[in-house]
């Protein structure tokens, strides 16, 4: 949401304040952190790996990492998963693995292969079947994407934009705020080129909201003969799989007036902003709709509001198009810990948002999260794998073991409910999210153990990926993200 007038800012600030009070008064209190339940099977003696170094271990040391640097020992386990392509059409919601997550052993972490003190963690190997990998990106020439942003923010996002947009015949137009740094435009375009991001930019001194709304005209003027969909995104909108996106839109006839996007997950937001497509999940306007709207452009431009609201007002006032809600697009209006969303047994989201918001708890490194696609394809991102001892890997995100009290534990593999890990409003607050994310279940506070992915290293031109999942001590008031390192699980993916 981007506010225009001071009045709106004041209103939003006031409602945030109320919300904040509501949350802090009614917040469920967490019990003290449970001891780490790292399993205790002995290490596999057949593992012939002669020495061990942790990829990018340095981020585990020092600040926010291991406190005693003169003795950087750590509890660690390793899993090696080789993937083999098969004729299975898609992944099941959860795929069983035939091995247990191995016991962790204490090792010394180092980047130095010649260090005589290096030891190796217990390692388990397995092979999993995956759907056959596509050889190329889809042809997305029917889509043109637009975003209003600054050079600095766009530069930061290019790696992630490259994941979904490269080599797909699509077009992305950035409506840029002029930068004080004269080198910025050139630098950003060069970086985009090196990452195969099909970026073009225009620049204007308009305010943010006007640059956003103006995209309607800018995208139309930059269309090609194949353009059918005009898509408004934020610089932190992330598409996991462009193939899924293209496939999803096949069912709509773009010559008809379609207005497609996602509602807010939070009904309170809708009480304020209304029934409309919220920008972060991506707003998709068909060619038919855009041609109908353009004659009203000037009038709509004058009705000041947030960018996504301006679009909605314009569409509702002048056409009979109504929002079509594509449920797998996600604005992700959730405060606090988003893990329940990512770990739920649901189809892969089409889009996610707010993954780099300033709310630390919701930060997800989507770049590293999606690296594993080079080994096992986009459909493998966030795919759930269940170890024989009931640990659950959400690929690129976490490895968790639910507590025995939790419904998700009893029905692991079948329970599609989403653990409500984010802040809610006490009492009836769960209901505020059920229209979008239900069924929900309450937070597992009985001793769930979580390792979050913090690093992914690509080796052998993408044929091997080493992911590090880290458990940290719990700090009051937030998920374990900033605590001290308590244990590490490395998952190495390679092609069989
Ligand atoms: C907090 O809880 C109290 C008592 O259960 C309830 O009356 C109040 O409405 C709740 N506040 C919010 C913001 O949900
Ligand atoms: C750090 O490790 C060294 C070497 O094992 C040990 O002598 C020292 O007591 C440790 N310091 C702390 C604060 O634990
Ligand atoms: C991804 O992981 C690598 C390896 O640890 C790390 O250097 C990098 O900072 C991480 N995040 C991004 C966005 O590259």
Q: By mean pLDDT, which of 27-41, 273-287, 402-416 is the weakest?
A: 27-41
What's the CATH architecture for 143-325? Alpha-Beta Complex (3.90)
pLDDT at residue 111 in the model: 58
274 CA → ligand 3 middle, Å: 38
How does pLDDT run across 362-378, given as a tens digit for each residue?
789 999 999 999 999 99
How does pLDDT run across 281-328, given as a tens digit for each residue?
999 999 999 999 999 999 999 887 888 999 999 999 999 999 999 999
Confidence of residue 30 (pLDDT cuts 50, 70, 90): very low
Higher pLDDT, 305 or 340: 340
- Average model confidence (pLDDT) across the chain: 84
Cβ–ligand 1 contact at 180 (below 6 Å): no
How does pLDDT run across 419-476, given as a tens digit for each residue?
999 888 766 678 899 999 999 998 888 788 899 998 898 988 889 999 999 888 776 5
Residue 44 and residue 33: Cα distance in Å, rounded?
A: 30
- 28 alpha carbon, closest ligand: 1
At a CB cut-off of 8 Å and minimum separation 6, what does 255 contact?
Answer: 286, 287, 288
Judge whether 385 and 97 are in contact, CB under 8 Å: yes
- 21 alpha carbon, closest ligand: 1
Q: What percent of the chain has pLDDT over 70?
A: 79
How does pLDDT run across 102-134, given as a tens digit for each residue?
988 887 766 555 555 556 777 899 999 999 998
pLDDT at residue 398 in the model: 96
pTM score: 0.84
423 CA → ligand 3 middle, Å: 28
At a CB cut-off of 8 Å and minimum separation 6, what does 462 contact?
Answer: 374, 375
Where exactly does CATH 3.90.550.10 map onto the chain? Answer: 143-325
Give the mutation target among 70, 109, 484 for probing the ligand 2 site: most ligand atoms within 8 A of CB.
70
pLDDT at residue 106 in the model: 81
CA distances from 181 to 151, 211, 241, 392 (A): 9, 20, 34, 46
- 72 alpha carbon, closest ligand: 2
pLDDT at 97 over 50: yes
34 CA → ligand 1 middle, Å: 28
User: What's the angle, vertex CA 405, arms to CA 334 and CA 338, rounded to 5?
Assistant: 15
- Up-side HSE of residue 330: CA atoms within 13 Å toward CB? 23
pLDDT at residue 1 in the model: 42
pLDDT at 31 over 50: no
Confidence of residue 245 (pLDDT cuts 50, 70, 90): very high
């Amino acid at each position: 949401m981007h506010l225009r007038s001071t009045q709106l800012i004041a209103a939003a600030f006031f409602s945030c304040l109320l919300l904040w009070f509501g949350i802090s008064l009614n917040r469920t209190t967490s019990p003290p952190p449970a001891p780490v339940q790292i399993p205790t099977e002995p290490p596999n003696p057949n593992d012939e790996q002669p020495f061990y170094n942790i990829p990018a271990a340095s981020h585990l040391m020092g600040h926010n990492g291991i406190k005693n640097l003169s003795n950087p020992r750590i509890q660690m386990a390793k899993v090696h998963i080789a993937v083999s392509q098969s004729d299975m059409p898609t992944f099941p919601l959860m795929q069983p693995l035939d091995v247990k997550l191995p016991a962790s052993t204490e090792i010394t972490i180092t980047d130095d292969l010649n260090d005589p003190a290096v030891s190796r963690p217990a390692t388990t190997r397995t092979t999993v079947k995956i759907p056959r990998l596509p050889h190329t990106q889809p042809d997305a020439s029917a889509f043109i994407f637009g975003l209003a942003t600054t050079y600095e923010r766009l530069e930061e996002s290019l790696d992630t934009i490259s994941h979904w947009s490269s080599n797909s015949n699509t077009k992305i137009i950035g409506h840029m705020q002029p930068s004080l740094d004269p080198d910025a435009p050139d630098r950003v375009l060069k970086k985009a080129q090196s990452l195969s991001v099909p970026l073009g930019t225009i620049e204007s001194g308009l305010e943010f909201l006007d640059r956003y709304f103006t995209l309607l005209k800018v995208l139309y003027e930059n269309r090609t003969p194949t353009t059918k969909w005009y898509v408004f995104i934020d610089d932190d909108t992330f598409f996991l799989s462009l193939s899924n996106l293209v496939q999803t839109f096949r069912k709509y006839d773009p010559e008809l007036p379609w207005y497609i996007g996602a509602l807010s997950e939070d009904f309170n937001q809708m009480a304020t902003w209304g029934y409309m497509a919220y920008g972060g999940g991506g707003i998709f306007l068909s060619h038919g709709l855009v041609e109908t709207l353009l004659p009203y452009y000037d009038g709509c431009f004058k009705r000041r509001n947030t960018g996504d609201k301006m679009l909605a007002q314009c569409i509702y006032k002048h056409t009979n198009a109504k929002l079509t809600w594509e449920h797998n697009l996600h604005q992700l209006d959730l405060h606090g810990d988003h893990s329940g969303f990512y770990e739920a047994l649901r189809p892969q989201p089409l889009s996610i948002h707010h993954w780099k918001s300033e709310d630390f708890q919701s930060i997800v490194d989507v770049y590293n999260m999606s690296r594993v696609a080079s080994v096992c394809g986009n459909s493998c991102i966030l795919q759930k794998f269940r170890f024989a001892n009931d640990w659950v890997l959400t690929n690129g995100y976490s490895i968790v073991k639910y507590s025995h009290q939790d419904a998700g534990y009893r029905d692991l593999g079948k329970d599609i409910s989403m653990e409500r890990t984010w802040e809610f409003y006490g009492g009836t607050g769960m209901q505020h999210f059920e229209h979008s994310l239900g069924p929900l279940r309450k937070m597992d506070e009985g001793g769930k153990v979580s390792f979050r992915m913090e690093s992914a290293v690509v080796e052998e031109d993408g044929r091997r990926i080493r992911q590090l999942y880290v458990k940290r001590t719990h700090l009051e008031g937030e998920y374990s993200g900033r605590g001290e390192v308590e244990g590490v699980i490395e998952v190495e993916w390679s092609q069989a």
